[in-house]
Homo-oligomer: A and B are copies of this chain.
Amino acid sequence: MARPKLQDVAARAGVSVTTVSRVLNNRGYLSDDLRRRVNAAIDELGYRPDAIARSLIGQKSGLVGIVVPTVADPFFGELVSAIERSLAGHGYKALLCDCQENAAREAEYLDLLQANRVDGIITSTHNREVAGYDRAELPIVAVDRRLGAHIPVVRGDNRAGGRLATEHLIARGARAPILLTATDHPGNDRATSYREVMTAHGLEPRVRAYGYATPVEDRRALVETWLAETGADGVFATDDLTAMMALEWAHKTGRRVPEDVRVVGYDGSAAVRQGVPGLTTIGQPIERLGARAAQLLVDRIAAPDAETAPEPPLPVALRVGWTS
């Protein structure tokens, strides 16, 4: 038999569809007898309400779009996992939009999400140029990315993170630590802190940015060139993967870590922590970032026009391993 519908349940229970619907939604007064009969029919038929039909009526689809560069990256994988868990706790389902590090796809996804009537969007991609977020009349929450005046952003304390990392490198004896980061723009708080701390110690900041779109092997080549050129005795990488490239370079070129080069990463995802527990890094509260983003979005869905106070940045922590 085809998938049973409300009508089938009603027929079997000998009541109207209205009544079945009411039992399902626990709405209005129902005699216990009716309730029992309906529930029996539901069980017997293995009936399961059609969420699509429900979405069409109510204004809610129960769907939330999660937009990320790619879940192949452990940081985003973990973030998405945390968001999804939290979302599920609130009764929402996650439509995954893996942009594959590609700005064009992000714009397409934005369209698709609206066509599918998602109730809201959580986004954490790099392409601030992608238009559409401002036009979308949907609750949106950004993770670690400024999208516009009206879009709240959940993030770790990047200022503190940059400070902790740089201070630590200097405390461990580095006199010429360089910063490796994706893009060096004014909004890069980790870079800002690095510069401030370096200057405060009378050291010259040196920032190298490889760009988001750079293929991994090209990034590795850049990193190795920079490390060789600058004669850096310390590395602050704003993500762990880049820090590991520095580690690998040290291994290959016979430099000792941390004696010759001290290395500090950023993110501290569980995968990296498990695989390379010795890496000194700034641990982000990934779980909390995800949970907070989900909570904030759920709140905005419930009250789209409520004022949103700026989100205080979530605390980060220096985790010291043997690389520094």
For A73, the chain B residues whose CB sits under 8 A away are 77, 271
Contact check, A81 vs B72: say whether CB atoms are below 8 A apart: yes
Asked if A171 lies at the interface with its beta carbon under 8 angstroms from chain B, I say: no
Interface size in chain A (residues, C-beta < 8 A): 56
For A116, the chain B residues whose CB sits under 8 A away are 51-52, 93
Given contact pairs A71-B71, A72-B81, A278-B251, A241 touches B271 in the complex (Cβ within 8 A): yes
Asked if A245 lies at the interface with its beta carbon under 8 angstroms from chain B, I say: yes
Contact check, A115 vs B49: say whether CB atoms are below 8 A apart: yes
Of the listed stretches A95-103, A186-194, A309-317, chain B binds A95-103
> Per-residue 0/1 for A78-95: is the Cβ within 8 Å of any B Cβ (1 yes, 0 no)?
101110110010000111
Contact check, A115 vs B48: say whether CB atoms are below 8 A apart: yes
8 pairs from A and B in contact (CB 8 Å cutoff): A51-B116, A52-B116, A71-B81, A72-B77, A81-B98, A94-B98, A216-B270, A240-B275
Which A residues between 228 and 267 are near B, CB-CB below 8 angstroms?
240-241, 244-245, 248, 251
Asked if A200 lies at the interface with its beta carbon under 8 angstroms from chain B, I say: no
For A72, the chain B residues whose CB sits under 8 A away are 74, 77-78, 81-82, 269-271
Contact check, A52 vs B61: say whether CB atoms are below 8 A apart: yes
Q: In the complex, what distance in Å separates the CA atom of A72 from the CA atom of B244?
A: 19
Q: In the complex, what distance in Å separates the CA atom of A65 from the CA atom of B117?
A: 18
For A220, the chain B residues whose CB sits under 8 A away are 274
Asked if A40 lies at the interface with its beta carbon under 8 angstroms from chain B, I say: no
Query: Which residues of A line the B interface, CB within 8 A?
Result: 3, 48-53, 55-56, 61, 66, 70-74, 76-78, 80-82, 84-85, 88, 93-96, 98, 100, 105, 111-112, 114-117, 137, 216, 220, 240-241, 244-245, 248, 251, 269-272, 274-278
Given contact pairs A48-B115, A74-B74, A95 touches B98 in the complex (Cβ within 8 A): no
Task: Point out which of A72, A85, A100, A117 has the most chain B C-beta atoms below 10 A from its C-beta.
Answer: A72
For A271, the chain B residues whose CB sits under 8 A away are 72-74, 241, 271
Least CB distance from A146 to B in Å reads 25
Contact check, A275 vs B117: say whether CB atoms are below 8 A apart: no
Q: In the complex, what distance in Å separates the CA atom of A100 from the CA atom of B94?
A: 14
Contact check, B56 vs A84: say whether CB atoms are below 8 A apart: no
Chain B: CB-nearest residue to A66: B96
Least CB distance from A241 to B in Å reads 5
Least CB distance from A291 to B in Å reads 13
For A269, the chain B residues whose CB sits under 8 A away are 72
Least CB distance from A290 to B in Å reads 10
Q: Report, nearest first, the 7 A-B pairs whose CB atoms are least far apart.
A: A77-B77, A244-B275, A96-B96, A72-B81, A72-B78, A71-B77, A51-B116
Contact check, B277 vs A248: say whether CB atoms are below 8 A apart: yes
Least CB distance from A36 to B in Å reads 22
Q: In the complex, what distance in Å separates the CA atom of A53 from the CA atom of B244?
A: 49
Q: In the complex, what distance in Å separates the CA atom of A66 from the CA atom of B93?
A: 12
Chain B: CB-nearest residue to A84: B98
Q: Which of B53, B100, B277 contacts A81 (CB 8 A)?
A: B100
